[in-house]
Structure 1
């Protein structure tokens, strides 16, 4: 008998590697599939748009970009994202699982532990992803003068210094710490409702991830607008400042140009981006975790041990180990 689901309790010798590989795959897949929508979101958050890029809605923005600039332009900055997303998400999920296990001991329903784990993982994730995000968003804005991500990165270092890659880091953390905490707590709460046994259940992982992404996106939207401004610096010519530094300056600038509603420009695009991307991220992550878990369960005779729930004794879940022959 055992009181833990082996899918949730991976072999100690392989836990870090498993979570990092699964996390890297999830991150790259998540950002790749939804990247064009991310481009639309960045465009819609522009404070002083060119008349040719004054978008009224998500569909209007997508239509104008594709019609006048070509579908290829929705993928500008993709290589910067690809370079950053893999290692960032690898550390993100590995840290999340390690902290969650340390605080809760794999006990279900410990939402405080889940939230703390999500916040801690965010610190590592953003330290890696922030420079990539700066380059990505400068490539995405309308009329960007950069032809490649490498050229963009070199230009930023030459003109603004390495610090420019972390100008939005504090704002990113202020946004992502509550975003990830909300996302993880919502995801785990949804799993308690849809998948209480914590087995591999693709539909519950996808639905839980989608709901978690949408809720977190709505709550943290104003901070995302400020982060985009700090990354792109696109309004500096109108603010009489060399650079916009800090969250307070970003909030003042957004309000000056767009008023209160400016903090929610691109909300539809962000929700449309976050729902499927978070669903994809969690689904891919859980799939790879499931796949690698069962690989470690394979014995020397070519059998795969599958844990099957058979009942409950005194509040303890009982599993039987069923060998599955693999060729």
Structure 2
């Protein structure tokens, strides 16, 4: 939904329309294109993410009793800088595999083609935009999660309902607010597959934003927002719930030993 000037067969007007069109034109299984890149990159990236988060939070006193929104925000910002540096190439590969008419069938095939045709820079051309999007919003998300957890939590310690609800709300809000930058990021990550010379020549955030604004106006920056919220809210809820469960388990095991 976010690709600028897609082919006529790939112009989508909503989530339902996109699902139906992709299934009809490209086959139902095409909805899972790029999954292998996510699987390979997401595990290590999340490990880096939460490891950095805990180290910085501990160093800033965020694990002490009480409410520490600044420590949570700073920890979240540092965590996303570290994890995005690792994940950005995998995200580029995922985007290239998912666009309409993609010829790539595997991670290695896509990575080799992108590197051969565009060089190593193609894997990181969107990294500054990614950070511009994720650092302030991840900081806000972590701060919102920590604050919402304090308000919602019914009992001390591990509380799955609290972690799930706080994660979903924080993730949904963050996804909605960052949609314009995500649209810009998508243009930069898929520029090498575009037949449009201007898009292929976009070198950074401001050039990409100018193309979107000039061609599609204000609304162009919010394409795919509902899909992002529908994706982010449950995935963030699952992420935080799993993280808190693992953390509670290891803390309990350490106390028992």
Please tell me the TM-score bracket, short chain as reference: over 0.9
SS in 1 for 2:234: helix
Query: Relative contact order (alpha carbons < 8 A, sep ≥ 6): 1 or 2 greater?
Result: 1
Cα distance in 1 for partners of 2:165, 2:254 equals: 28
Matched residue SS, 1:113: helix
Report the alpha carbon displacement of residue 254 of structure 1 after superposing the two structures with TM. Answer: 1.0
TM-score w.r.t. structure 1 length? 0.75
Between 1:71-80 and 1:202-211, the stretch displaced more is 71-80
Q: Distance in 2 between matches of 1:241 and 1:49?
A: 12
Q: What is the correspondence of 1:296-315 to structure 2 with a 5 Å cutoff?
A: 296-299=254-257
Structure with the largest fraction of helix: 2
Give the secondary structure class of the aligned counterpart of 2:103. Answer: coil
SS of residue matched to 2:60:
helix
Q: Tell me the residue number matched to 2:214.
A: 256
Unaligned runs of 5+ in 1: 1-43, 300-327
Q: Separation in 2 of the partners of 1:114 and 1:237? A: 43
- Aligned counterpart in structure 1 of residue 253 of structure 2, from 289, 295, 300: 295
Change (3 A) 1:234 1:258: farther
For 1:89, the equivalent position in structure 2 comes to 46
Aligned residue in 2 for 1:33: none
**More strand by percentage:** 1
Please report the RMSD computed on the Cα atoms of aligned residues, expressed in angstroms. Answer: 1.6
1:106, CA displacement in angstroms?
1.3
Structure 1 contact 236–244 (Cα < 8 Å) conserved: no
Post-superposition Cα deviations, 1:243-287, rounded to whole Å, max 9, x if no partner, equal 311100110111122111000000000010100010010011111
61, 68, 84: which one aligns with 2:18:
61
Task: Report how far residue 66 of structure 1 moved.
Answer: 2.0
The corresponding residue for 1:188 is 146
Measure the CA separation in 2 of the matches of 1:245 and 1:110. 39
TM-score of the superposition, structure 2-length normalised? 0.95
Deviation at 1:105, TM superposition (A): 4.5
Q: Secondary structure at the match of 1:233?
A: helix
Q: Secondary structure at the match of 1:297?
A: helix
User: Alignment length, in residue pairs?
Assistant: 256
Contact 2:60 2:71 in 1 (8 A): yes
- Return the alpha-carbon distance in structure 2 between the equivalents of residues 105 and 126 of structure 1: 23
Which deviates more, 201-210 or 140-149? 140-149
2:34 aligned with 1:104: no
2 CA distance for matches of 1:142 and 1:241?
Answer: 16
Instruction: Choose the corresponding residue for 2:112, options 154, 165, 189.
Output: 154
Matched, 1:135 2:93: yes
Aligned to 1:114: 72
Structure label with greater radius of gyration: 1
1-side partners of 2:254 and 2:86: how far apart? 30
Shift of 1:236: 5.0
In 2, the alpha carbon distance for the partners of 1:269 and 1:49 equals 18
Question: By how many angstroms is 1:235 displaced?
Answer: 7.8
| Greater alpha carbon shift after TM alignment, 283-292 vs 194-203 | 194-203
Structure 2 unmatched ranges of 5 or more: none
Q: 1:218 to 1:105 in 2, by over 3 A?
A: closer
